[in-house]
Structure 1
Amino acid sequence: MAHWIQAFLEAQAAELDAATNTQLAYARDLHDFSGWLDDRAQHFETATRDHVESYLIDCEAEGLAKSTRARRLSAIKQLYRFAFEEGWRDDNPAIQIKGPGRAKRLPKTLDIAEVDRLLEAARNSPKEKLRNTCLMELLYATGMRVTELVSLPVSAARGDPRMLLVRGKGGKERLVPLSPPARVALAAYLSARDEAEEAARKDGKPASPFLFPSRGKSGHLTRHRFFGLIKEFAVAGGVSPAKVTPHTLRHAFATHLLAGGADLRSIQTMLGHADVATTEIYTHVLDERLKDLVLEHHPLAKAAKA
């Protein structure tokens, strides 16, 4: 079964350019299923629809979330589709199984005042002030995923760009516009970065291809380090750290654009969503906010509370 999983993951990486995190998730899910089958003296080759359904029932009994069970079923279906194409099986035992669906949860976001406090905290960082300001301005101005942000090539930032070319999931590229504050922050940081790179080059160190270089293995600032940074900005800015992650800034970008009158298709393009249905969740976020606004400020609502 390990051979099946390895071959499947290699095909995903080669044919679909699947992201590392996606491959790791597939590997975890399929190893869990293979362990379950092994305990019952079964194999991917012999498993039936009943086995797959029984496995999902056990996952539910363990208290796994709907989203986790849906993801595991998706991984199993894709493995068997691959096995069918390779001729390892002449059927897909999971193809007709319906998933548990996903719980409808609205994404957490931030209001404009909270974002302003985060940006101000970055501007007043005790260390790496220009870099931190640039990171936060770019994130809020573009709605990039954190991996896209920290791995940006420095070549994308040259020439005072009005737009950035971003390489997203599956290797797909898209253009995202930069706001004036983001361009100012980028220019200031780039100047300081280039000076530091020139000094390092004189010491015999190679130049970094990344906009946000690091001495770590990846060569650029890591997702985990940026996650820690944004929590520090939350504390410094008086915003609840529990509300703040790089992804909530992405949600804030989309929600604030929508509230300002941007159309869904444009937001879909800037976020890099394959399906506009994914982007439509922000209309529900806006609806909830408007409802809360009415309930809090409408005179009839206040009279009802009294």
Structure 2
Amino acid sequence: MSPRDAALLERFLEMMAAEAGAAGNTLAAYRSDLRLAGDAMGGLADASEAALKGLADGWRALANATVARKAAALRRFYAFLHEEGLRQDDPSSVLPRPGQRRALPKVLSHADIDRLFAAIGERTGVEHPSSGDLRLGALIELLYGSGLRASELVALPRGAVHPDRPFLILKGKGGVERMVPISDRAPAAVALWRTRVPAESPWLFPGGNKHLTRIRLYQLVKELAADAGIPPDRVSPHVLRHAFATHLLGGGADLRAVQAMLGHADIATTEIYTHVEAARLVELVNVRHPLVDFRNKHP
């Protein structure tokens, strides 16, 4: 594997850990699958559609689950390159999609969200809150209140949030700009945090030589979950993005509007949240419907 491919692979795995909360075993599987694919194609990051199609042709004897795993790793890798502006195209559309049920994303309940914000409120409600707690308050307000990707959140410019403008202008995948509404509470939380941001910083959330990293954001969210009494493995920046979408749809929001806010190019990606809501409603019917009492009385 070339030094460039190796460096991009590590950047991708860092993103997977920070945004998707991928476990160690998952990251190891991605690393292995992507390295093998790169070796087979004579290069990974710059592989063509023809190279990917040839690779997939060699998977014919493999089990569906194995093909699905390998294809998923490559799709996520090329989507990452495209989103980061490292490729102008995404060649992964030629990869097979074995018929498997798509896993539903993890979602936090409204009660879970209340517990997270209660934990933040205890920290920021004191007379002299720390800079770290003010930063955390602003981060969570924007994550859950706007459904931002972790990469979008940590890279926000210092002046991205205006007190008189109830939305953000973001440049997402492929350089496409989108307007993202923000909650009424977010500007106030950001204003408090911005008083602690060094005047010379171009970033709203500075860190090190640039801005806060996705890995550090991931750690902060996990620490908050533990403080709120929620198992940390249930919470990540990406899970808060999922909660934003699912709770909006559950409240009656239009699917197309949520698609625009999330920056999904394909509405099929957004539709997964309707399945989450449908699964919740089915569970509700099975637990709360009057027929449940009747069934229990007359087994």
* Residues 282 and 192 (structure 1), Cα distance of their counterparts in 2 relative to 1, 3 Å cut: same
Is residue 118 of structure 1 aligned with residue 132 of structure 2? no
Shift of the alpha carbon at 1:236?
0.8
Residue 255 of structure 1 is matched in structure 2 by 246
Secondary structure at the counterpart of residue 176 of structure 1: strand
What amino acid is the match of 1:281? I
Is residue 171 of structure 1 aligned with residue 175 of structure 2? yes
TM-score normalised per structure 2: 0.72
Shift of the alpha carbon at 1:133?
0.5
Among residues 100, 107, 111, which one is paired with 2:98 in the alignment? 100
Secondary structure at the counterpart of residue 192 of structure 1: coil
Shift of the alpha carbon at 1:167?
2.1
Is residue 210 of structure 1 aligned with residue 208 of structure 2? no
Secondary structure at the counterpart of residue 164 of structure 1: strand
Q: Where does structure 1 differ by over 4 angstroms across 4 or more consecutive aligned residues?
A: 24-31, 46-52, 73-76, 94-97
Question: Unaligned regions of 5+ residues in structure 2, if any?
Answer: 17-29, 43-47, 79-91, 124-128
Residue 152 of structure 1 is matched in structure 2 by 156
* Residues 107 and 51 (structure 1), Cα distance of their counterparts in 2 relative to 1, 3 Å cut: closer
Quick one: distance in 2 between partners of 1:96 and 1:129?
46
RMSD of equivalent CA atoms: 3.8
Q: Is the 8 A contact 2:12 2:77 kept in 1?
A: no
Shift of the alpha carbon at 1:241?
1.3
* Residues 298 and 164 (structure 1), Cα distance of their counterparts in 2 relative to 1, 3 Å cut: same
Percent of residue pairs identical: 41
Shift of the alpha carbon at 1:56?
5.8
Among residues 50, 53, 56, which one is paired with 2:57 in the alignment? 53
Larger Rg: 1
Shift of the alpha carbon at 1:106?
1.0
Residue 289 of structure 1 is matched in structure 2 by 280
Q: Is the 8 A contact 1:162 1:177 kept in 2?
A: yes
TM-score normalised per structure 1: 0.71
Quick one: distance in 2 between partners of 1:164 and 1:50?
42
After the TM superposition, which residues 11-50 of structure 1 pair with which residues of structure 2 at under 5 Å, given as runs?
A: 21=12, 31-36=35-40
Is residue 185 of structure 1 aligned with residue 189 of structure 2? yes
Q: Is the 8 A contact 1:123 1:129 kept in 2?
A: no
What amino acid is the match of 1:122? I
Q: Is the 8 A contact 2:154 2:211 kept in 1?
A: yes
Question: Unaligned regions of 5+ residues in structure 1, if any?
Answer: 14-19, 39-43, 77-93, 199-206
Q: Is the 8 A contact 1:66 1:103 kept in 2?
A: no
Shift of the alpha carbon at 1:35?
3.0
Residue 228 of structure 1 is matched in structure 2 by 219
* Residues 259 and 54 (structure 1), Cα distance of their counterparts in 2 relative to 1, 3 Å cut: same
Among residues 258, 263, 267, which one is paired with 2:258 in the alignment? 267
The higher relative CO (CA closer than 8 Å, separation ≥ 6) is in 2
Is residue 131 of structure 1 aligned with residue 100 of structure 2? no
Shift of the alpha carbon at 1:120?
2.1
Shift of the alpha carbon at 1:27?
9.7
Shift of the alpha carbon at 1:235?
0.8
Secondary structure at the counterpart of residue 134 of structure 1: helix
Quick one: distance in 1 between partners of 2:138 and 2:52?
53
Q: Is the 8 A contact 2:37 2:55 kept in 1?
A: no
Deviates more, 1:152-161 or 1:249-258: 152-161
Shift of the alpha carbon at 1:275?
1.2
Secondary structure at the counterpart of residue 178 of structure 2: strand
Secondary structure at the counterpart of residue 251 of structure 1: helix
What amino acid is the match of 1:222? T
Secondary structure at the counterpart of residue 180 of structure 2: strand
Residue 79 of structure 1 is matched in structure 2 by none
